[in-house]
Structure 1
């Protein structure tokens, strides 16, 4: 700026010589600045062109754009269930994926236990809310799974068909929940409701604990109104579930 002020003073005389001198000084002052600015812009463009595009890893993407992303549970660790609640035979549990494991043996027909179990199950699944989903596995001497699966979404048309499906099942003479529980745990739901009225030798609580690699809480509903079956309490306690005799 001080050079330009000096040039203005020189040109006040208005002579040809002063004007020529002014033009020469302007060229001397302005040209280096223009050249420097042009070179700086070219260097910036070259540097941008040379830099490879940044690639974001999947982990960086989750941390940046999905702050609420829940990592997979470690084997054997306790799960953090969903926020929705499910109530079955007075037992409440949190979770968006629920599996009901229901005793279908002939002893369940005594005292109206089977009818009560079916009624409570239909009520429970009818009160589920999206995005909750469920599966039902019945057992006696065999394992019988709900044919629309492995999960049925809350509010779907299939919910109304669960009751008729349950009533269509023929009861068996034995209580063998091993395969039913193993299948349920293999689905890795947020929680399992396990309802039975009988004693069984297999599976042992230790076997169930070994199958439960995802730390799924197993909530036990014991309908045997005669004596408590200790292994059922162990199954619930080992998985941080609840034990209830309604």
Structure 2
């Protein structure tokens, strides 16, 4: 059968459309595009991530628990006077049978710690201001008891060797008489020569005789020191306290150390009080009894 030209064109279009449909059915289905990957959160310049912000929500009280307690300034805190007093009364520095809470008569607080080293001296825990100090030390027979003379000379060397130029010192021992360092009594520079001279001279001092400090104290006051340290373990003859007060016309402080713990009477306490000095009770021995020398 012969087709017309128009019928031939129409038949071609139909075949074309049919072929396109078959091609579409045979083509594999295209896979859907994967969703965009999640990018890691990047903190803005100068900012924080969400997790970091979450950590910052820690309660202030939790932070306080984590860090040790300290002074608000971040510096070492200076002890108050009450705290220093509590530390000073360590059980290791108390007489036998005493406790830290007990009152300790004669245990004085240092009053010259704010001074430079060359403006102070300390003897058996009593600290005094000045540049010239005289040590008046008992060498009577009773000083052999409980190693008293040995304790006195040990503390005397410690005190004198701590002195610095331009400080001066002198040492006077007494019993019935007075014994001064060679060439004394005079103010001596606190140099190595005089410190070595003191060490050699102390080997010659022995306990002997009675206890009469009147002449030794008058010799000391005549040199016009900044302070006198008076050490004893015995009761003084009647009239000693009044004689010392009469001789101390310049009101030089006389700091008194009692190695008998007050058993020999109140003469040392009265001399210290009348002169504006301080009194300290220092009983003990070299075997660890009582309050050790500092």
1:144 is aligned, of 160, 174, 179, to 179
Q: Shift of the alpha carbon at 1:202?
A: 4.4
* 2:172–2:180 contact (8 Å) kept in structure 1: yes
2:146 is aligned, of 111, 125, 128, to 111
Q: Distance in 2 between matches of 1:161 and 1:173?
A: 25
The structure where helix makes up a greater share of residues is: 1
1:208 is aligned, of 212, 234, 244, to 244
1:123 is aligned, of 158, 162, 168, to 158
Q: Distance in 2 between matches of 1:178 and 1:202?
A: 11
- Which segments of structure 1 move beyond 4 Å, counting only runs of 4 or more? none
Q: Is 2:193 aligned against 1:157?
A: yes
TM value normalised by structure 2: 0.54
Larger radius of gyration: 2
2:136 is aligned, of 101, 115, 119, to 101
112 and 158 in structure 1: CA distance in 2 versus 1, 3 angstrom threshold: same
Q: Distance in 2 between matches of 1:203 and 1:166?
A: 30
Q: Shift of the alpha carbon at 1:172?
A: 2.0
Q: Shift of the alpha carbon at 1:88?
A: 0.5
Match of 2:256 in 1: 220
* 1:134–1:154 contact (8 Å) kept in structure 2: yes
Q: Shift of the alpha carbon at 1:169?
A: 2.1
Q: Shift of the alpha carbon at 1:171?
A: 2.7
TM value normalised by structure 1: 0.64
Q: Is 2:211 aligned against 1:175?
A: yes
Q: Distance in 2 between matches of 1:198 and 1:131?
A: 34
- Deviations along 1:90-137, one digit per CA (max 9) or x if unpaired, are 010001110000001111111111111000000100000111100000
After superposition, residues 1-246 of structure 1 pair within 5 angstroms as: 84-149=119-184, 150-225=186-261, 227=263, 229-246=265-282
* 1:87–1:124 contact (8 Å) kept in structure 2: yes
* 1:99–1:137 contact (8 Å) kept in structure 2: yes
* 2:233–2:264 contact (8 Å) kept in structure 1: no
Q: Distance in 1 between matches of 2:279 and 2:166?
A: 26
Name stretches of at least 5 consecutive residues in structure 1 with no aligned partner.
Answer: 1-80
* 2:253–2:277 contact (8 Å) kept in structure 1: yes
Q: Shift of the alpha carbon at 1:226?
A: 5.9
Q: Distance in 2 between matches of 1:194 and 1:226?
A: 14
SS in structure 1 opposite 2:203?
Answer: helix
Q: Shift of the alpha carbon at 1:230?
A: 1.2
226 and 209 in structure 1: CA distance in 2 versus 1, 3 angstrom threshold: closer
Count of residues in Structure 1 that have an aligned counterpart in Structure 2: 166
Name stretches of at least 5 consecutive residues in structure 2 with no aligned partner.
Answer: 1-114, 283-294
* 1:177–1:203 contact (8 Å) kept in structure 2: no
* 2:228–2:252 contact (8 Å) kept in structure 1: yes
SS in structure 2 opposite 1:168?
Answer: coil
SS in structure 1 opposite 2:195?
Answer: helix
* 2:234–2:264 contact (8 Å) kept in structure 1: no
